[in-house]
Amino acid sequence: MYTPSPSWSNLLISALALSPLASAIPQPETTTNIPSQNTTNSTLLPYLDPSLCISDRLDDLLSRMTLEEKAGQLFIKQIPAGINGTIDNTTIIPDGTRNLTTAPLITEKLLSHFNVNNARSARQMAEWHNEIQNLALQTRLKIPVTIASDPRHAFADTVGSSIASGQFSKFPESLGIAALRDPVLAELYATIIREEYLAVGIRNALQPQIDVVTEPRMARSGQTFGEDANLTASMVVALIKGFQGEELGLNSVSTVTKHFPGAGPSRNGNDSHFATGKDNTYFGDFLDYHLIPFKAAIAAGGRQIMPSYARPIGTKYPEVAFGFNKPVITGLIREELGFKGIVVSDWGLITDQAILNVIEPARAWGLENTTESERAKMVLDAGVDQFGGEIRTELLIQLVTSGQIPESRLDISVRKLLEEKFLLGLFDHRFVDPEAAEKVVGNAYFARIGNETQRRAYTLLTNQINTLPLRPTDGVKFYARGFNSSYLEARGLQTVDQPYKADFCFLRLSTPYEARGSPFRQRYHEGRLDFNTSQKASHSELFNSCPTIVDILLDRPAVIPEIAQEAAALFGHYGASVDAFLDVVFNVDGWKPEGKLPFDMPSSMEAVDEQVADVPFDTEDPLFRFGHGLSYNRTALCG
Ligand SMILES: *[C@@H]1O[C@H](CO)[C@@H](O)[C@H](O)[C@H]1NC(C)=O
Ligand SMILES: *[C@@H]1O[C@H](CO)[C@@H](O)[C@H](O)[C@H]1NC(C)=O
Ligand SMILES: *[C@@H]1O[C@H](CO)[C@@H](O)[C@H](O)[C@H]1NC(C)=O
Ligand SMILES: *[C@@H]1O[C@H](CO)[C@@H](O)[C@H](O)[C@H]1NC(C)=O
Ligand SMILES: *[C@@H]1O[C@H](CO)[C@@H](O)[C@H](O)[C@H]1NC(C)=O
Ligand SMILES: *[C@@H]1O[C@H](CO)[C@@H](O)[C@H](O)[C@H]1NC(C)=O
Ligand SMILES: *[C@@H]1O[C@H](CO)[C@@H](O)[C@H](O)[C@H]1NC(C)=O
Ligand SMILES: *[C@@H]1O[C@H](CO)[C@@H](O)[C@H](O)[C@H]1NC(C)=O
Ligand SMILES: *[C@@H]1O[C@H](CO)[C@@H](O)[C@H](O)[C@H]1NC(C)=O
Ligand SMILES: *[C@@H]1O[C@H](CO)[C@@H](O)[C@H](O)[C@H]1NC(C)=O
Ligand SMILES: *[C@@H]1O[C@H](CO)[C@@H](O)[C@H](O)[C@H]1NC(C)=O
Ligand SMILES: *[C@@H]1O[C@H](CO)[C@@H](O)[C@H](O)[C@H]1NC(C)=O
């Protein structure tokens, strides 16, 4: 059941009070016609009895669980929400011997953690979620399901790491939150995501991604907070507070900070989903720098941590993937840093699996020749609590029945995972209200904050002869490349079909990348950060035809000295609609760029090659420094 959260009410009430749209904010409704547990059963088992304390309920539940039921808890698997609020029965999920779908994962394999990996309407997601909970009620122990999600409040849509926002409020990628340097905004951002997640039944956020981007080519930079560990630390603290509240409860979404100990120092920036990106290199001896945000996350009470796929090169640790690395998971995370929460592995450490119709190898980097069973044992021995993206319960059962792993080892992790469900209130409040979900998700207030943040995060890198903001006067003609000129016409502006006929040109770009290898790998933005010769020639032709305002999506720090030189003005953004761009260009309603770069922008690919992967701010003679960002020194309205 969706209820507004008391612990955040001050923040929301003060925000709502400031909002001219406050009257339009839908109040979540309490409806009575939703399914609920029959609590009139006088023989209610102790663990199902809300009047008992959590530790007693946990003891009771654990004492009843079979080995199979315990094994099921130790896995979290990605599944799609089905059509029209139904449970999907078409997507095949192989378990090594059989082809399964969602339902048998719950009723036969006894899984109760999933991440939903597609987008449906808010109502349908809520209805689907309730169907999933109904299925769980059919199992012997009726353990409620926990639904998780990769980030889904921005633009990026990358299999395995982010989902485009759909009906959810649309913000810039988290880099844009970092560009605004405002922990209060960061907490509001997480609060809005939390409210929308709660409404559809998502109770676990596979974020914040707090990898520090010390290697400019790092493929997953877009969902980080940039290059500065301290800024990232301040952001993660604010986000954890927004998601979880002061302590985990009925209105919380638990967080998974990732990817420990920081996936920034990837060799060549290649992504660690793939063998070509399996190494994190620490030749600058900067491992401690990457730990700064994780220490902050632990101190802030972040519930879960996900180790990186990569393996460390150039440290005292064994050169095996972090999820298998006992000196890192048990030694560093738990014993040195004192983390007591859940460690969930990244997805697919054990089993080779088809992604976009191509078999991708298990990410057992440094352990490629081990068997699946050996991998499962190493992950458990390392101290990981839960296997992401896997359903191989039979491997764990076999490890226990053959005496290789004591059942008490499973109990340690099962207890933590079930405690989280109790704390989230899932045993006692497992259903959500689809009507309320429809009203909460993407409501006018939340969407407006998202839209505003897209505009505010705009980072003005150059503004030659004070070109901006533009003031369209009668007869001024515009030419658009990289977006549809109908956006200009809709504003009553005159457009032309050739640059030479225009008074001003617009060019909207994305940071270059190289699409390499398998279809899955091609989704990850690796490789060079500069435009090639033919692209540069085409840009120059435009710049020579008319004064051009360039807008580039910075999901990594682009290498664009020639654009900085030749464009009339240059903006960076981190996920923004065309309308957001034009509002900033024309200073509509006073919108102006407020963002400051969350990383250095290198001046050449030679400088990129020469910097050291784990060292921040070491690119020689950067084009723009971390923190750069101009303001308008006049407005469109006056002077
Ligand atoms: C009451 O709950 C117990 C335990 O779940 C179950 O065995 C029993 O059948 C229930 N009784 C009724 C009448 O539903
Ligand atoms: C709830 O359980 C009681 C028995 O404990 C039973 O008499 C009653 O019919 C049940 N109600 C529903 C709605 O299932
Ligand atoms: C989903 O619902 C729509 C509208 O009610 C209906 O037209 C469509 O056939 C449904 N699809 C399925 C697969 O049930
Ligand atoms: C799959 O689900 C749809 C919608 O609930 C249902 O109509 C269909 O019969 C199901 N198919 C199978 C094979 O279970
Ligand atoms: C599972 O489905 C795939 C097609 O998606 C098929 O090639 C394979 O043989 C099936 N495996 C089993 C065990 O049924
Ligand atoms: C980061 O914070 C630490 C501790 O407050 C401080 O010692 C260090 O100088 C800061 N680093 C930067 C780059 O601001
Ligand atoms: C990164 O990927 C590129 C392209 O596939 C490859 O040439 C390079 O060797 C890779 N780097 C490493 C360290 O494997
Ligand atoms: C795995 O085995 C192959 C062939 O036996 C060998 O070339 C390779 O070095 C081994 N890899 C590791 C990580 O041990
Ligand atoms: C947010 O921006 C989108 C895209 O420009 C627009 O369709 C929507 O109406 C805006 N919502 C609010 C509440 O401002
Ligand atoms: C541009 O927008 C117009 C009006 O919405 C539409 O008709 C046209 O197909 C669009 N052009 C392109 C290339 O997307
Ligand atoms: C430059 O990049 C574009 C876009 O990826 C590509 O179509 C074109 O072939 C490339 N040109 C050269 C000269 O590499
Ligand atoms: C605005 O900044 C430009 C340089 O960026 C400068 O030439 C101009 O004098 C400034 N105008 C005002 C009103 O400060």
- pLDDT, mean of residues 581-600: 97
- CA angle centred on 621, ends 454 and 564, rounded to 5°: 45
Ligand 4 pocket test, pick from 79, 83, 86 with the greatest ligand atom count within 8 Å of Cβ, gives 86
Pocket of ligand 7 (CB under 6 A): 267-268, 270, 276, 516
SS3 520: helix
Ligand 5 mean position, distance from CA 353 (Å): 13
- How many whole angstroms from 450 Cα to the centroid of ligand 9? 9
Q: What is the DSSP letter of 154?
A: B
The token pair at 189 is 């951002």
- What single letter denotes the amino acid at residue 259? H
170, 451 Cβ separation under 8 angstroms: yes
**Ligand 9: nearest atom to the Cα of 580:** 5
SS3 378: helix
Quick one: which ligand is closest to 41's CA? 2
Q: Taking the CA atoms of 340, 341, 346 and 351 in sequence, report the sign of the dihedral they define.
A: positive
Answer yes or no: is pLDDT of 32 > 50: no
Packing angle, helices 54-64 and 407-423, rounded to 10:
140
What does the block give as tokens for 303? 């519930």
230 CB within 6 A, ligand 11: no
Q: What is the mean pLDDT of the chain?
A: 93
Of 33, 34, 41, the one to substitute when testing ligand 2's pocket (max ligand atoms within 8 A of C-beta) is: 41
Residue 368: CB within 6 Å of ligand 8? yes
H or E stretch including 260?
A: strand 254-260
Ranking 48-52, 93-97, 229-233, 313-317 by mean pLDDT, the lowest is 93-97
Nearest CA to ligand 7 atom 9: 276
Query: Ligand 7 mean position to 164 CA, how many Å?
Result: 28
CA distances 84 to 135, 144, 150, 292, 448, Å, are 17, 22, 21, 44, 27
- Mutate which of 481, 483, 484 for ligand 10? The one with the most ligand atoms within 8 Å of its CB, which is 484
C-alpha distance across the termini of the chain, in Å: 54
Residues with Cβ within 8 Å of 239's Cβ and at least 6 positions away in sequence, in order, are: 186, 187, 189, 190, 207, 208, 255
Neighbour tally for 54: CB within 10 Å: 14
- Cα separation, 184 vs 200, whole angstroms: 25
Q: What is the mean pLDDT of residues 21-46?
A: 51
Residues in the chain: 639
Q: CA distances (Å), 18 to each of 12, 442, 528, in order?
A: 10, 19, 44
Whether pLDDT at 35 is above 60: no
Average pLDDT over residues 152-168: 94
Maximum pairwise Cα distance, the chain: 82
- Ligand 5 neighbours by CB, cut-off 6 Å: 92, 94, 98-99
pTM for the structure as a whole: 0.91
Neighbours of 378 (CB within 10 A): 21
Q: Give span(s): CATH 3.20.20.300, the chain.
A: 8-16+72-445
CATH of segment(s) 8-16+72-445: 3.20.20.300
Neighbours of 305 (CB within 10 A): 27
pLDDT computed for residue 42 by the predictor:
61
Tokens found for residue 457: 């995060």
Closest C-alpha residue for ligand 12 atom 3: 466
CA of 219 to the centre of ligand 7 (A): 12
> What pLDDT does 95 receive?
86
Q: Which residue's CA lies nearest to atom 8 of ligand 5?
A: 99
CATH of region 458-610, choose from 1.10.10.10, 3.40.720.10, 3.40.50.1110, 3.40.50.1700: 3.40.50.1700
Taking the CA of residue 90 as reference, the ligand 4 atom at the shortest distance is 1
Contact 568, 460 (CB under 8 A): no
- Minimal-distance CA residue to ligand 11 atom 8: 534
pLDDT top residue among 39 and 230 = 230
84 ligand 3 Cβ < 6 A: yes
Band (474; pLDDT cuts 50, 70, 90): confident
120-149 average pLDDT score? 98
pLDDT tens by residue, 330-386: 999 999 999 999 999 999 999 999 999 999 999 999 999 999 999 999 999 999 999
pLDDT class of 460 with cuts at 50, 70, 90: very high
Name residues contacting ligand 2 (CB within 6 A).
38, 40-42
The pLDDT of residue 472 is 85
| Paired tokens of 285 | 């001896």
User: How do the residues of the chain divide into helix, strand and coil, expressed in percent and rounded to 5?
Assistant: 40, 15, 45
Q: Provide the annotated active-site residues.
A: 346
User: pLDDT value at position 19?
Assistant: 41
Residue 490 gets which letter from DSSP? T
State the pLDDT confidence band at 25, using cuts at 50, 70 and 90.
Answer: very low
- Whether residue 28 has pLDDT greater than 50: no
Backbone angles phi, psi at 443, to 5 degrees: -65, 165
Which residues lie below 8 Å from residue 59, measured CB to CB, with a gap of 6+?
none
How many percent of the chain have pLDDT more than 90? Answer: 91
Least confident of 23-37, 423-437, 529-543, 619-633: 23-37
Mean pLDDT of 395-409: 98
- Ligand 8 atom closest to Cα of residue 366: 13
Q: Classify strands 342-347 and 311-313 as parallel, antiparallel or unpaired.
A: unpaired
Task: Locate all alpha helices (DSSP H) within 252-330, ordered by sequence.
Answer: 287-299, 326
Q: Which residue has the tokens 């004192």?
A: 338
Is the minimum distance from the CB of 538 to ligand 11 under 6 angstroms?
no
Chain centroid to Cα 565, Å, comes to: 34
What does 27-58 look like in DSSP terms, one character per residue?
PPP--S-S----TT-TT--GGG-TTS-HHHHH
Residue of minimum CA distance from atom 8 in ligand 8: 369
What's the mean pLDDT in 579-583?
98
Q: Which of 515, 511, 545 is nearest to 531 (CA)?
A: 511
- What is the number of helices (H) and of strands (E) in the chain? 21, 20
Measured in whole angstroms, the distance separating CA 534 from the mean position of its chain's CA atoms is 34
Query: What residue ranges of the chain are covered by domains with CATH 3.40.50.1700?
Result: 458-610
Mean pLDDT throughout 13-31? 40
For the cut 60, the answer to whether the pLDDT of residue 4 exceeds it is no
